Amino acid sequence: MDLDFSPVWQGWPDLLRGALVTVEITACALALGCALGLLVGIGRLNPKRRWLYGICTAYVAAIRGTPLLVQLFILFFGLPHFGILLPAFLCGVLGLGVYSGAYVSEIVRGAIQSIDMGQTMAAQSLGMTPGTAMREIVLPQAVVRMIPPLGNEFIALIKNSALVSLLTIHDVMHEGQKIISVSYRSLEVYLAIALVYFVLTGTMTLVLRHFEQKLRQGGLMR
């Protein structure tokens, strides 16, 4: 079988524009996922606040128990039945961000629980409120421990972003499918798309590794 990459070279500018959209939507979803994950993770630390703990637990269970593709379709195709019309890009960001937030929340909860409770008790004995102790003592240490698992989550989110092409968002996958529709060279185009995702995830890996090494050199990671 002969491979013909000429359609890929001709459509390379479109693939690069699609890659930029992929980066934009992933970055927005990461910001949303981290913010949501932090709030939900902290909300699941205290079962005594039953209403908050129940809402956070239900959210994590519902999101982790259903496919991301179904969640994206509910936002894009389901909400219009209730008169809520959201732009495709916003649906993609919300879908990816809410999905990632459920997993980030478990990372946050696990990292916080790994910090010795004696530090919190000592801080409170010095007059700190529980909120201040969490913010000043526990979270700075927990954030350092979150970095490796968060890196895995960020890389997974980049790959999961390929699903937003089904919402007519012009990401790299969508642009590749447009090239296939006129060239019928699916193998070559999908190889090029795989290369783009490989570069994106590889770049993220290098950035996170560099950041982690900086923390180790500073003595923050043990």
Q: Are 168 and 73 in contact (CB under 8 A)?
A: no
In 3D, which of 15, 12, 7 has the Cα closest to residue 184? 7
b/e 80-108 (16+ beta carbons within 10 angstroms → b): eeeeeeeebbebbbbbbbbbbbbbbbbbb
Closest by CA position to 172, among listed 162, 160, 182: 162
Give the chain's domains with CATH numbers: 26-217 (1.10.3720.10)
DSSP code per residue over 41-70: HHHTS-TTSHHHHHHHHHHHHHHHTS-HHH
Residue 134: predicted pLDDT: 76
Q: What is the pTM of this model?
A: 0.87
Q: What is the pLDDT along the chain (222 residues), one digit of tens a residue?
A: 678 888 889 989 999 999 999 999 999 999 999 999 999 998 898 777 888 989 999 999 999 999 999 999 999 999 999 999 999 999 999 999 999 999 999 999 888 888 877 777 777 777 777 778 777 777 777 877 888 888 899 999 999 999 999 998 999 999 999 999 998 889 999 999 999 999 999 999 898 888 877 776 665 544
Report pLDDT for 5: 84
pLDDT value for 14: 93
Q: How far apart are CA 51 and CA 107, in angstroms?
A: 22
Phi, psi of 5 (to 5 degrees): -95, 5
Q: What is the pLDDT of residue 112?
A: 83
